[in-house]
A and B are shown apart, each in its own frame.
Chain A
């Protein structure tokens, strides 16, 4: 009896061992006749990646075409579903009368994920990021108060920035503020402005915003180059910056760490502005000239060369290039907005005497000695040399 049970068990085990193994996925796929499964739908609802190859590669087979007399004969072995799948995944050789860029892309379903990311993650990042930094700065102001000139102003001034430096700074600042405001109006138009002001008002605001955004961008890019050329030599990081950072820049407490023309905090703002400004300009140019300057596939290719494990897509449809450029533009711009709000705070209400540097160009000598002592020494040495010659 026991032998029979053991024998049956062994036979059953052997049966399972030699039976071709079907994965759960294959089983489900077979049960839907090759169409999408419940697992695919659940994955999509959770925002997970779904392997679309079951339909991307299911485009019919002309070699198995039914005879002309058959139901599918005139379609050459390709059903209408096969044909639409081919259009959807850009596998069909489409002929169109429009010769414009990307005109042959009739269907591109990446638009939904672009829209959801724009209305979801990016709007949240912008709202919580900008709102959060403003709330933190207000809190910081009430805790720390305004940073004052220790011992009060001396009454003597020193030229901090030349007119051309201030001109470049204010061109960059003015254009950036307008770009930020109009960019945020465009980002929040559908979800915030339409419910409050209605469609017509939002249409007027959006038309104005896109005009300002597209045309003022040139001033931003030109002044970014001007600022880089004028200040890059003063913003090369050095050991002094580590000491400055270790002392927290003197923001907390009464320490005044030594600094030359720009301290470590200003250098961080400078390089953030230059690098993110260049990036937002590149993606902005890509958006200004739709489909003319695709750059993400090439960038992904370079990233893959350095980090092969990332496996980023290197073949992108023209619309995917535009969607990525738009999302990247919004992410980088929002990061800049958050950082620049902090920069505006410290350069105005946060520190006594700081605004004069960019306002009149002349700062109080005592302020300069407390925040840029080594720069003052350099300037005084230059003056004395000039006086002797």
Chain B
């Protein structure tokens, strides 16, 4: 059972990790498709 709970904890931690990594790389839809990313320069 310990492995199962470790896997669940890892899943939660990895989700937060994915969020911060993707946000940091500027991959969010909000950044990709709005504001200065899409305005004519």
List the interface of chain A (C-beta within 8 A of B): 97-101, 103, 163, 166-171, 174-175, 178, 211-212, 215-216, 218-219, 222, 289-292, 358-361
Contacts and interface: CB of A to CB of B under 8 A. Distances in A.
A290 B27 CA distance: 11
28 contacts: A97-B40, A98-B39, A98-B40, A99-B40, A100-B33, A100-B37, A100-B38, A103-B38, A166-B4, A166-B7, A167-B3, A170-B3, A170-B7, A171-B10, A211-B19, A212-B15, A216-B15, A218-B15, A218-B18, A219-B10, A219-B14, A219-B15, A219-B18, A289-B32, A292-B32, A359-B1, A359-B4, A361-B3
B3 A98 contact: no
Nearest to B33: A100
Contacts of A290: 29, 32-33
Nearest to A163: B3
A170 B39 contact: no
A361 B4 CA distance: 10
Interface residues of B, number: 23
B11 A171 contact: yes
B33 A216 contact: no
Contacts of B3: 163, 166-167, 170, 361
Given A97-B39, A171-B10, 14 more contacts: A99-B40, A166-B3, A167-B7, A169-B7, A170-B8, A174-B8, A215-B15, A215-B18, A215-B19, A219-B14, A290-B33, A292-B32, A358-B4, A359-B4
A142 B14 CA distance: 40
Given A97-B40, A212-B15, A170 B4 contact: yes
A222 B37 CA distance: 30
A97 B10 CA distance: 44
Contacts of B38: 98-100, 103
Interface in B1-39: 1, 3-4, 6-8, 10-11, 14-16, 18-19, 22, 27, 29, 32-34, 37-39
A96 to B, nearest CB: 9
A100 B36 CA distance: 10
Q: Which of B4, B27, B37, B38 has the most C-beta atoms of chain A within 10 angstroms of its own C-beta? A: B4
A98 B41 CA distance: 10
A263 B9 CA distance: 30
A213 B2 CA distance: 25
Contact of B7 (A99, A171, A292): A171
A44 B40 CA distance: 40
A147 to B, nearest CB: 22
A289 B18 contact: no
A232 to B, nearest CB: 20
Contact of B11 (A100, A163, A216): A216
